[in-house]
């Protein structure tokens, strides 16, 4: 079954006018899901507070991220065999890049309520970092869509599919692998993708 994602850009004018920090990572620039912007619409519909709408085939639960005039999204086919990145023009909704990042011969099981592209990208000036858990991590040039580096040697058994989003601080890209088999955090050099350090951690179950 083909699922179509619709990217609907809302209140572009309001956000741009107030010069808020770019929404460049999971839950926004501070990672708390909050913004200081005011006067934003609270009601939406097919013809209400909608600037544009762009259909994008695929299945992905990752949040869109924004830097300057670009919106980046992680995407995947429903079967998880093709993992991609899509860049959309902020003002027009035009697809600027549609990059096949990884192909996966035999994807692990993914729960129906999850997707193979549930990790929200991290974007900054000139670079976007895409993470698909055990299937790989890559850095793309935001201008050309060219892949600058990739890692496909960091693994775990996600059990129900990947979901941990990457984080950049300084020169480091942080990745979390919480598998049912192993759990660890790894810091990569964001410029080269090489491992700076890796720390194993214990699994903890909440009640």
Segment 30-43 shows an average pLDDT of: 88
Number of C-beta neighbours around residue 130 at 10 A: 29
All domains of the chain in start order, with CATH: 4-30+43-154 (2.40.10.480)
pLDDT tens profile 14-32: 444 446 789 999 999 999 9
Segment 2-13 shows an average pLDDT of: 47
Could you write out the three-class secondary structure of 168-196?
EECCEEEEEEECCCCEEEEEEECCCCCEE
pLDDT number for residue 7: 53
pLDDT tens profile 76-95: 999 999 999 999 999 999 99
How far is CA 84 from its chain centroid?
Answer: 10
Q: Describe the strand order of the beta sheet including 147-151 as a list of residue ranges.
A: 122-124, 127-131, 137-141, 147-151
pLDDT number for residue 176: 97
- pTM metric for this prediction: 0.90
Residues 6+ apart with CB under 8 A from 13: none
pLDDT tens profile 127-166: 999 999 999 999 999 999 999 999 999 999 999 999 999 9
CA–CA separation, 186 vs 194, rounded Å? Answer: 10
């Amino acid at each position: 079954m083909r699922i179509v994602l619709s990217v609907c850009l809302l209140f572009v004018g309001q956000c741009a006018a107030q010069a808020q920090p770019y929404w460049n990572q999971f839950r926004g620039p501070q990672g708390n899901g909050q913004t200081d912007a005011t006067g934003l619409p609270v009601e939406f519909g097919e013809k209400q507070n909608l600037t544009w709408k762009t259909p994008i085939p695929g299945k992905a639960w990752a949040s869109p991220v924004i830097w300057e005039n670009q919106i980046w999204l992680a995407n995947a086919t429903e079967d998880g065999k093709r993992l991609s990145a899509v860049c959309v023009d902020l003002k027009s909704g035009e697809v600027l890049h549609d990059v096949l990042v990884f192909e996966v011969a035999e994807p692990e099981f993914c729960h129906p309520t999850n997707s193979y592209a549930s990790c929200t990208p991290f974007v900054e000036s000139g670079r976007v970092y895409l993470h698909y858990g055990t299937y790989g991590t890559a850095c793309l040039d935001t201008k050309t869509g060219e892949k600058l580096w990739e890692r496909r040697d960091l693994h775990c058994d996600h059990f129900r599919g990947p979901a941990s989003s990457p984080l950049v601080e300084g020169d480091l890209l942080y990745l979390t692998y919480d598998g049912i088999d192993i759990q660890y955090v790894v810091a990569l050099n964001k410029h080269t993708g090489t491992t700076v350090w890796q720390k194993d951690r214990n699994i903890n179950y909440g009640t």
